Chain A
Amino acid sequence: AQKVTQAQTEISVVEKEDVTLDCVYETRDTTYYLFWYKQPPSGELVFLIRRNSFDEQNEISGRYSWNFQKSTSSFNFTITASQVVDSAVYFCALSEGGGGSYIPTFGRGTSLIVHP
């Protein structure tokens, strides 16, 4: 069974600090997908990134970067020089695609508060 653990319930930082959100996953499939979503105070779920299990390259998008390590079953998300607008709940999700079904399982989320 697939499982996603986001051990950090809440993180509080001051603007311009770097912050890393942890995500650890469990799956028996060799083919799977990992995601990060952002849920700002307005409530919608905003897609940030998808990574498949065969691509361990780290990715950078502006101030956002993701570190995928299969050896530790982790897919961590770093925000560099955080801003107040980054305040949101961030969800990591896992989808096992080997059987043709794409059922995402979400972690409990990490609430990030960025203080000015």
Chain B
Amino acid sequence: DAGVIQSPRHEVTEMGQEVTLRCKPISGHDYLFWYRQTMMRGLELLIYFNNNVPIDDSGMPEDRFSAKMPNASFSTLKIQPSEPRDSAVYFCASTSGAGYTFGSGTRLTVV
């Protein structure tokens, strides 16, 4: 298996633009997590899905953030409109209940 695949690896966008981050979990994993990593707050859980259903989105900072998982092999995290304070590394992770496997992350810079 290729592991958890995230795209893009780097994204630079202007304030106010829409940003979409993508994640392909490991096949067979029924949990998917989106995390955000910043120096100030460390690794924060934004939202997680179980069997494609959002279970807890209490970590999503604002209504500007939304996440979907239309099928077992794909999830998106969208920020609209983006702001400079959204600059961070966004990680996707998946698990079937054993170890968690993380993607390589998307480094987002909003200027």
- B9 nearest CB neighbor, chain A only: A43
Give residues 27-52 of A contacting B (CB, 8 Å): 35, 37, 43-45, 47, 50
Q: Mark B72-111, 1 if CB is under 8 A from A, else 0.
A: 0000000000000000010101010111111011010000
Distance of A108 from chain B, by nearest CB (Å): 5
Residues of B within 8 A of A44 (CB): 102, 104-105
Q: How big is chain B's contact interface, by range?
A: 20 to 34
Closest residue of chain B to A106, judged by CB?
A: B43
B56 at the interface (CB under 8 A from A): yes
Whether A45 touches B42, Cβ cut-off 8 Å, given contacts A97-B97, A102-B31, A103-B56, is no
Residue contact A47 to B42, C-beta cutoff 8 Å? no
Question: What are 13 of the A-B contact pairs (CB < 8 Å)?
Answer: A35-B99, A35-B100, A37-B102, A43-B89, A44-B102, A44-B105, A45-B102, A91-B43, A101-B55, A102-B100, A103-B33, A104-B100, A107-B42
